[in-house]
Amino acid sequence: MMPPAATRLSRPELVPDDAIVEIRGISKTYGADVEALRDIDLDLPRGKLTSLLGPSGCGKTTLLKIVAGLVKPTAGTIRVDGRIVDGPGPERAFVFQDFALMPWATVMRNTAFGLELRGMARAKREEIAKRYIAEVGLSGFENKYPHELSGGMRQRVGLARALAVDAEVLLLDEPFSAVDEQNRRKFQEDLIRLRTVQKKTFIFVTHSIEEAVYLSDRIVLLSPRPGRISGIIEPNIDRTGNPDEIRRDRRYLDAVEEIWQGLREYVD
């Protein structure tokens, strides 16, 4: 029997047994009166891709950066693998929306930079970096500089750098938003393939309902500011087939429509 298009989880089901990221009572206020997030309680399952989806300004990126240890919450705690987050850590890697590459460094140096910071010997870190450069489809570009690459290629370098440090949790802040639609779809397909190889936990911020449904095991819907959890959906999409067939699948289309109906009240 075919599974339903999407499963909307009730509050008691928010905590998976195999959670790697535990978010408890997270709130964030900027300045005196800009409340970005309010009382976020959420556990994220190990080895899955969870998307944060909601209207502009709902705190998606703020929550991602709090998990990364790049922003401190006003209240609440984050645990990753049972350890309190009080700053960046080696078990987490961040892929920025704007690539955040060093313009003076080659693809090889950029990819290996996290390993260099850890004091790994050059030969070893370049061996690892070369493997992930190949994994993201950039073999032959190891000695190129960011200005010699397209936007899509620069984003691939950012992903390779995150993969190279072998972090358990990868945090991606709208990583495909700066590329054209053709490259965006190719990146989505590549990410699905990488997930089958890497077995990492991904937390993915996006504005795109279609992208969230196509990629995610679980989608967390956030309300307008202050961001609160308005729902959690599991799309139940079979992603083993042809990408075009997946996007025409009834379960995919129904999940997109269900999420849109849940978010449309927040659109002006």
- CATH code of 239's domain: 3.40.50.300
100's tokens: 């955040």
Chain centroid, CA 71 distance in Å? 16
In a domain, 211, yes or no: yes
In a domain, 39, yes or no: yes
From its phi and psi, is residue 156 left (phi > 0), alpha (psi between -120 and 50) or beta?
Answer: alpha
In a domain, 226, yes or no: yes
The whole-model pTM stands at 0.86
In a domain, 121, yes or no: no
Q: Which amino acid is at 213?
A: V
Q: Please tell me the total count of domains within the chain.
A: 1
Beta-carbon contacts of residue 28 (< 8 Å; ≥ 6 apart)? 35, 36, 37, 59, 62, 63, 66, 71, 73, 74
In a domain, 174, yes or no: no
Measured from the Cβ of residue 73, the count of other Cβ atoms closer than 10 Å reads 23
What is the residue-level pLDDT of the chain in tens, covering all 268 positions?
Answer: 334 456 665 443 444 558 899 999 999 999 878 899 999 999 999 999 999 998 888 999 999 999 999 999 999 999 999 899 999 888 898 888 777 789 999 999 999 998 998 889 999 999 999 998 998 889 999 999 999 998 888 888 988 888 888 889 999 998 877 677 777 888 888 888 888 777 889 999 998 999 999 999 999 999 988 999 988 999 888 887 788 888 888 888 988 988 888 777 766 5
In a domain, 108, yes or no: no
Containing structural domain, residue 76: 18-91+199-268
In a domain, 70, yes or no: yes
149's tokens: 């690459």
In a domain, 170, yes or no: no
Beta-carbon contacts of residue 166 (< 8 Å; ≥ 6 apart)? none
